[in-house]
Amino acid sequence: MSNDGPIQDIGEKHLVVPGTTFRKITEAVSRVTETPAPRGWWIMFLTALLFTGVLGAAIGYLFFRGVGVWGNNSPVGWAWDITNFVWWVGIGHAGTLISAVLFLFRQKWRTSINRFAEAMTIFAVICALIFPGIHVGRVWHAYYMFPIPNSMAIWPNFKSPLLWDVFAVGTYFTVSTLFWFTGLIPDFATLRDRSANRIRRAVYGFLALGWRSSNRHWQNYERAYMILAALSTPLVLSVHSVVSFDFATSVEPGWHATIFPPYFVAGAIFSGFAMVLTLMLVARSVFKLTDLVTMTHIELMNKIILATGTIVGYAYAMEFFIAWYSGNQYERYVFLNRAFGPYAWAYWTMISCNVISPQLFWFKKLRTNIPLTFVISIFVNIGMWFERFVIIVTSLHRDFIPSSWGYFHPTPVDIAIYMGSLGLFFTLFLLFIRWVPMIAIAELKSVLPEASAHHHADDHHGHDHDHAHAAKAE
Partner 1 sequence: MADATNKPLTRVGPEGGTPVLLLAEYDTPAAVMHAAEKVRDAGFTRWDVHTPFPVHGMDKAMGLPDSRLGWIVATMALIGFSTAVSLITWANVVSYPFIVGGKPAFSIPSYAPVCFELTVLLSAFGAVFGMFGLNKLPRHHHAVFESDRFRAVTDDKFFVSVEYADPKFDDVRTRELLESTKPNHIEIVEDNES
Site residues for partner 1, 23-62, by CB under 8 A, read: 23, 26
How many other β-carbons are positioned within 10 Å of the β-carbon of residue 39?
8
Find the shortest distance in angstroms from Cβ 196 to partner 1. Answer: 11
Among left, alpha and beta (phi > 0; psi -120 to 50; other), residue 81 is alpha
Size of the site for partner 1 (CB under 8 A): 75
* DSSP code string of 371-391: HHHHHHHHHHHHHHHHHHHII
Find the shortest distance in angstroms from Cβ 115 to partner 1. Answer: 14
466 binds partner 1 (CB under 8 A): yes
Q: Which is nearer to partner 1, 4 or 299 (CB)?
A: 4
Part of the chain binding partner 1 (CB under 8 A), chosen from 76-84, 118-126, 210-218, 261-269: 210-218
Q: Which is nearer to partner 1, 202 or 295 (CB)?
A: 202
CA 379/CA 385 separation, integer angstroms: 10
CA 201/CA 191 separation, integer angstroms: 8
Q: Which of residues 335-364 bind partner 1 (CB under 8 A)?
A: none
Q: Which is nearer to partner 1, 221 or 255 (CB)?
A: 221
Task: Report residue 275 CA to chain centroid gap.
Answer: 8
Q: Which is nearer to partner 1, 317 or 451 (CB)?
A: 451
Find the shortest distance in angstroms from Cβ 153 to partner 1. Answer: 7
CA 153/CA 168 separation, integer angstroms: 25
216 binds partner 1 (CB under 8 A): yes
Q: Which of residues 185-204 bind partner 1 (CB under 8 A)?
A: 186, 189-190, 192-194
Which of 154, 196, 199, 401: binder of partner 1 (CB under 8 A)?
154
Cβ contacts of 359-367, under 8 Å, gap ≥ 24: 359/306, 359/309, 359/310, 361/302, 361/303, 361/305, 361/306, 362/306, 364/299, 367/298, 367/299, 367/302, 367/303, 367/306
Q: Which of residues 59-98 bind partner 1 (CB under 8 A)?
A: none
Among left, alpha and beta (phi > 0; psi -120 to 50; other), residue 209 is left
Part of the chain binding partner 1 (CB under 8 A), chosen from 11-19, 146-154, 277-285, 404-412: 146-154
Which of 13, 14, 108, 217: binder of partner 1 (CB under 8 A)?
217
Which of 76, 163, 292, 390: binder of partner 1 (CB under 8 A)?
163
- CA-nearest of 311, 281, 460 to 387 is 311
Q: Which is nearer to partner 1, 174 or 404 (CB)?
A: 174
Cβ atoms of 25 and 441 within 8 Å: the answer is: yes
CA 242/CA 168 separation, integer angstroms: 7
Q: Which of residues 377-436 bind partner 1 (CB under 8 A)?
A: none
Name the H helices within 294-447: 295-326, 329-340, 344-350, 364-367, 370-389, 395-397, 412-435, 441-446
Find the shortest distance in angstroms from Cβ 421 to partner 1. Answer: 24
460 binds partner 1 (CB under 8 A): no
Find the shortest distance in angstroms from Cβ 456 to partner 1. Answer: 7
Cβ atoms of 52 and 43 within 8 Å: the answer is: no
Which of 218, 330, 333, 435: binder of partner 1 (CB under 8 A)?
218
Q: Which is nearer to partner 1, 6 or 161 (CB)?
A: 161
Cβ atoms of 312 and 350 within 8 Å: the answer is: no
Q: Which is nearer to partner 1, 53 or 156 (CB)?
A: 156
Specify the DSSP class assigned to residue 254: T
| Four-point Cα dihedral 143, 149, 150, 154, nearest 10 | 90
Which of 365, 453, 459, 474: binder of partner 1 (CB under 8 A)?
453
Q: Which of residues 432-451 bind partner 1 (CB under 8 A)?
A: 442-443, 445-446, 450-451
Q: Which of residues 169-188 bind partner 1 (CB under 8 A)?
A: 170-171, 174-175, 178-179, 181-182, 186
Part of the chain binding partner 1 (CB under 8 A), chosen from 231-239, 255-263, 288-296, 407-415: 231-239
Which of 210, 342, 406, 412: binder of partner 1 (CB under 8 A)?
210
Residues with Cβ within 8 Å of 467's Cβ and at least 6 positions away in sequence, in order, are: none
Q: Would you call the peptide bond into 437 cis, given omega within 30 degrees of 0 as the criterion?
A: no
Q: In what helix (H) or strand (E) does residue 95 lie, and over which residues does it extend?
A: helix 80-96
Find the shortest distance in angstroms from Cβ 21 to partner 1. Answer: 7
228 binds partner 1 (CB under 8 A): yes
Part of the chain binding partner 1 (CB under 8 A), chosen from 38-46, 81-89, 228-236, 345-353: 228-236
Which of 50, 209, 370, 419: binder of partner 1 (CB under 8 A)?
209
**Counting beta carbons within 10 angstroms of the beta carbon of residue 401, is it exposed (0 to 12), middle (13 to 18) or buried (19 or more)?**
exposed
104 binds partner 1 (CB under 8 A): no
238 binds partner 1 (CB under 8 A): yes
